A and B are shown apart, each in its own frame.
Chain A
Amino acid sequence: MKKSARLLSFAVSLAMTGTLLTACSSGGTATTTAGGTDTTTAAASQGEETSAAASETAVSEGTTAEAEQTSRETTDGETPLVIGYSQFSEKFSPFYADTAYDQDVSSMVNIQLLTTDRAGAIIMNAIEGETTTYNGTEYTYTGPADFSIERSDTETTYDIKIRDDLKFSDGEPVTIDDVIFSMYVLLDPTYSGSATLSSLNIQGLQAYRTQTSDELYDKYAAVWDAAYAAGADATSGDGFTEEQHTAVWDGITTEWKADLQAIVDSVISDYLTDDYVNTAMPGFTVDQITNDPGLQVAFASVMWNFATYDESTGLTYTANNTNFDLAGGTYPTIDDMYAAAYEAYKGDPEAYWDTEAADDSSVVSVAKENFIVAAGSADPDNGGGVANISGIKKVNDYEMTVTTDGFDAAAIYQLAIQVAPLHYYGDTAKYDYDNNQFGFDFGDLSSVQDKTAQPLGAGAYTFDRYENKIVYFEANPNYYKGEPKIKYIQFREMNDSDKISGVITGTIDGSDPSFTLDAANEIKQDNSNGELVGDKITTYTVDNLGYGYIGANAANVKVGDDPASEQSKDLRKAFATVLAAYRDVSINSYYGDAATVINYPISNTSWAAPQESDEGYQLAYSVDVDGNPIYTSSMTDEEKQAAALQAAIGYFKAAGYTFDDATGKFTAAPEGARLEYEVLIPADGEGNHPSFNIVSDTSAALATIGINFVVNDLSNSSVLWDTLDAGTQDFWCAAWGATIDPDMYQIYYSSNIPGVEGSSESNHYHITDSDLDSLIMEARTSDDQTFRKTTYKAALDIILDWAVEVPVYQRLNCNIFSTERVNISTLTPDITTFWGWMSEIEKLELN
């Protein structure tokens, strides 16, 4: 026993000596050097690490790690501010920063051209400064550039004037050439970052990106017109060669087939149900058609009236009498469908398009565009191609203009780019504005990409390095708003679960933990007053830029053929009314104070979001089929849910459902509708989603009246997105990220339904309403905010009337700071979604 005890104590002491001594070792005499000393790279000194690990026992002086705490306060007075962040992707360049965290690093280092206030409104005269009011307090905003807009009927010119005293952190002056260089990088066709300046309709941009000049464009447009006018069968003629004729008509054929394929896709997406299959192609099943492209063509041909189907004779195209024995396994291809369409319209693509086309983009115009770009870029006269973007013009060293076609209210936000130094990211030898050189070779952004991990700019801080999962910053003495008060800042990677305890233990001074019920409780427990703001932690909450919703696909959830009919709307309202009734309880239990229920499908952060004080504001889906309110103020949650179910019964009846009074259940659905619908919810397969209780409670409630609302909890969210792209969903739960401008075009405009050519693919609701379309267009082409807000309110009412979306929650984000170590009074007041904690970082101080 004696020996074993000795051995045991030896082993334990061996282990403990190592651990404790290293723990204590940093408590030794603090050797202080100036902060920012270049460190030896730990990775390179691995050999030392292991060999020195053995000699650690020699270092036995020091007390405990408390000394570490002391050393923080006693080094050279330059204690760094440490902010806890989630994982960085090391793409810190203003061009390639992708994640929100990388973008924050980029924002620290760079200045943004456009200045916005706490509400997200643009400060046009930022050099001089403008004063706006937020929450009753007046704030003056200044920035690096003035903007002015000149509008005509056909074009909009943005005049950008930058301050003449701006400097990059390396002392080089910021001039308009740096802005022009930055824009050209973002507009280069090989640019692969996330900025979307190229979606702005800048004059000459398309020509520059495709390298086809206007002259060549006109030349090949004439060739195309001549070859097209000569007809498909001509082999020669004036103004085109035989080769060009072939190219023109091959292009038309390709586009024509693509358009027919779009018809097939759209039919499959919208009409592939048992009812339609039984009517159009009896004997086949939905599954068979889904799994065979040939049968899809056949089904679409019948549905689109190109062909007829008879079980005995098979499929026959009416135009050319081509027959396919579907039962025997012979299926048509898209080429066969094309042959029939060609015959039906005697080879005239325009006639075809006038009658049949699946979308707004004409077969002829697309084919023409493709031909011109292909031929133009191959033309020997193209020479150096298109040298510049005609819409971007330098006025002087500190001023430039950007001219776009038409007007789009949201467009100016695209100009909120960060100004990157030409002399660092590009090559000054390759910059000569007058001779169309913009700092890099067209199509070659390698010099920009090389600097992705090491940004340099004119922002408040300079980027020192990213090492050991920490980004190190140092104050920029050249910052135009004055050198920041805190000399060193570190962005330190933390696990989300460690962020709050990290602030408490002193590992970090501030962070942005996910604001959940648990997180809020943890903060409250840490503060002695039991509040979110207390002696340990100060918490700021801001609305998340976006909102959660439950969507309905109008193309699938409808009565008869028309998703816009009153009956179809009533059907969707029946579901929406019940779903809306369960929102309060569900969101409160999932988020607590960290989210609120919203009543319009728009983020609360937007100036266009209707407020309770606004006229006409009402709770979402709170009236019955006759328009009477279904809730009273004295109702409990249970009573409200019961009232909503009663209102839903009214809507289902109005939609044409058969109700059996004896059993209290619906027994039959009208044509085109069903007794069973499915809702997709990406809740990890385990119910982990804010809307999960809403849909499961709704499912239980609807089951009592004979409606089967199937909850499909997806463990993999990509299944949801694939289904939305295919347009086969009934209902689904998701959230929208929003942009600073409330433009609704991408999400609700009728041509943006997935599958339609040229679509943004975001109108998953399949809402097609001409009134809504015109309201959206009116609002996006107006620069009058009051008018836009009224117009958007009308648009939101139409969306709610279609009942394609149940607005659910507005989530909050939070920033926390250590009350003990950060001088909270120097932090920018009234933090909002658009005015983050970093907005006036130069004024921030430590205690």
Chain B
Amino acid sequence: MRKYIVKRLLWSILILFFVSFLIYLLMRSLPSSYVETVARERAASNPQVSYKQWLERLNELYGLNVNPLQGFFIWLSQAIRGHFGDSWYYGVPVTQKFGSVIWYSFALGAAALIFQVALAIPLGIQSARKQYSALDYATTVFALIGISLPGFFFITILKMVFAVNLGWFDLNGIVGRMHDSYSPFRQFLDICQHMVLPTLNLVIIGTGSLLRYTRTNMLEVLNSDYIRTARAEGLSERRVINHHAFRNTLIPLVTIIGGTLPGLFSGALITETLFKIPGIGYTSYEAMLAGDIPFTMFYLTFMAILTLLGTLISDVLYAVVDPRVRVS
């Protein structure tokens, strides 16, 4: 097992190298770079200094006067020492910015995940048990709606209903206008209140796939011989489902949920952007739009690490919960 993990880790490092190289190349090849945009804006808003003069000056300041290959290795040599540089767009060290925004994303992702699991698993089991029942059809339809319709659509609906018509929530943001005058506990509640609509949106769009997955697995298990045997032994239906069927359904579910855990740090780009939640998704979106190479490199490399970690965790968990995998 250890050998397997070490081998996987080494592969991951190699993949990471090429991924970060590709990202850097792409960032450098963007049709309009950060410095070009800034130079263009500055030259347009005040034509006393020409675009080319600005460009020359900024390229030098931002170290873009080397070719992409050199640039990448300069970045890499710094990055492996933990120096990710200052964000061009935000003007602060990349890691500082990351540290100040990541927990919003984590809280949002964790809350959404808890609700998703709490909704998807019981509903999935029920719809498998009562296949082709009204409940099954209803959950399938709602799950498919959640999967198919884009997040921004639900966000617009949620804002329209809960913020504009009912007036229960602010349209966006993470705190209300009186936040400063609240006690610390109420400030916390204020933040929770502002997290309701974003969480609800993530739950709506994320529950469907997990629900369908649970249902499919449950159906498969329910048709197994050992379930028939359990029933034949005269066990109560409740015991059959909870002790024999569900535990076996849990195996693929654990791997899937385990694999999504690192994703809690990746942020929800659209939801965060539309609700103006200062999480990593929104922050990186703004940085990418601006062509901020240091921040984007850090974030995308971080995402790559998370993805690699996610698959690794999935595989390891699979081996942990399923002895057959361990043996092979």
Contacts and interface: CB of A to CB of B under 8 A. Distances in A.
Binding between chains A and B: yes
Given A4-B130, A761-B51, A490 B177 contact: yes
Interface string B33-75: 0001010111111111111100001100100000000000000
Interface string B101-123: 11110110011001100110011
Nearest to B106: A46
Interface string B166-204: 011111111111111111101111111101100110010
Contacts of A472: 180
A49 interface: yes
A686 B175 CA distance: 38
Contacts of A717: 32
Contacts of B186: 26, 28, 30-31
Given A26-B189, A31-B183, A762-B50, A69 B92 contact: no
Given A194-B45, A194-B46, A761-B50, A78 B122 contact: no
A22 B31 contact: no
Nearest to A96: B91
A8 B123 contact: yes
Given A32-B181, A72-B177, A414-B48, 13 more contacts: A26-B176, A31-B183, A35-B178, A49-B192, A53-B107, A65-B193, A469-B277, A490-B177, A495-B273, A498-B159, A504-B164, A507-B163, A761-B43
Contacts of B199: 18-19
A409 interface: no
B47 A56 contact: no
B240 interface: no
Contacts of B244: none
A192 B57 contact: yes
B183 A718 contact: no
A53 B192 contact: yes
B301 interface: no
B25 interface: no
Contacts of B48: 196, 199, 414, 746
Contacts of A26: 176, 186, 189-190, 193
28 contacts: A8-B135, A14-B115, A14-B119, A15-B119, A19-B200, A23-B193, A30-B186, A33-B181, A35-B180, A37-B181, A42-B103, A50-B110, A66-B167, A71-B178, A75-B178, A98-B38, A468-B278, A470-B173, A501-B171, A506-B167, A507-B171, A719-B31, A725-B51, A739-B45, A747-B47, A759-B50, A761-B50, A762-B50
Contacts of B277: 469
Interface stretch (A83-91, A361-369, A599-607): A83-91
Nearest to B125: A7
A14 B122 CA distance: 11
A312 interface: no
B248 interface: no
B119 A495 contact: no
A718 B111 contact: no
B184 A40 contact: yes
- Interface size range of chain A in the complex: 35 or more
Interface string A19-53: 10011011010111111110110111110111011
A492 interface: yes
Contacts, number: 239
Nearest to A82: B177
Given A501-B164, A505-B164, A39 B180 contact: yes
Dominant secondary structure at the B interface: helix
B47 A762 contact: yes
Contacts of B177: 72, 79-80, 82, 490, 492, 507
B169 A23 contact: yes
B90 interface: yes
A548 interface: no
Closest 7 A-B residue pairs measured CB to CB? A46-B103, A746-B47, A718-B32, A199-B48, A31-B183, A65-B168, A760-B50
Interface string B280-301: 0000001000000000000000
A502 interface: yes
B100 interface: yes
Nearest to B162: A23
* Most chain A CB inside 10 Å of its own CB: which residue of B99, B103, B177, B203: B177
B180 A18 contact: no
Given A43-B101, A746-B47, A746-B48, A505 B171 contact: yes
Contacts of A87: 286
B104 A42 contact: yes
A37 B180 CA distance: 6
Interface in B1-55: 31-32, 36, 38, 40-52
Given A31-B186, A42-B103, A98-B38, A716 B168 contact: no
Given A79-B177, A453-B91, A472-B180, A192 B58 contact: yes
A36 B180 contact: yes
Interface in A282-312: none
A11 interface: yes
Interface string A227-245: 0000000000000000000
A22 B179 contact: no
Contacts of A502: 171-172
A488 interface: yes
Contacts of A759: 50
Interface string A438-474: 0000000000000011000000000000001110100
B89 interface: yes
A453 B86 CA distance: 13
Interface residues of B, number: 86
Contacts of B176: 26, 68
Contacts of B274: 495
B216 interface: no
A722 to B, nearest CB: 9
A11 B183 CA distance: 32
Interface in A86-113: 87, 89-91, 96, 98
Interface string A174-197: 000000000000000000101010
A139 B131 CA distance: 78
Contact of B171 (A35, A43, A494, A746): A494
B181 A46 contact: no
Contacts of A22: 189, 192-193, 195-196
A69 B170 CA distance: 10
A199 B36 CA distance: 20
A56 B172 CA distance: 21
Contacts of A65: 167-169, 193
A675 interface: no
A453 B92 contact: yes
Contact of B107 (A46, A199, A490, A498): A46
A495 B271 CA distance: 12
B326 to A, nearest CB: 32
A723 B178 CA distance: 51
A31 B182 contact: yes
A50 B184 contact: no
A39 B187 contact: yes
Contacts of B32: 716-718
A579 to B, nearest CB: 23
A469 B47 contact: no
B38 A469 contact: no
A507 B276 contact: no
Nearest to A4: B126
B276 A469 contact: yes
Contacts of A721: 40, 51
A493 B274 CA distance: 11
B102 to A, nearest CB: 8
A15 B57 contact: no
A194 B89 CA distance: 14
A276 interface: no
A397 interface: no
A469 B173 contact: yes
A45 B175 CA distance: 15
Given A8-B135, A414-B48, A746-B48, A507 B175 contact: no
A53 B196 CA distance: 11
Contacts of B40: 721
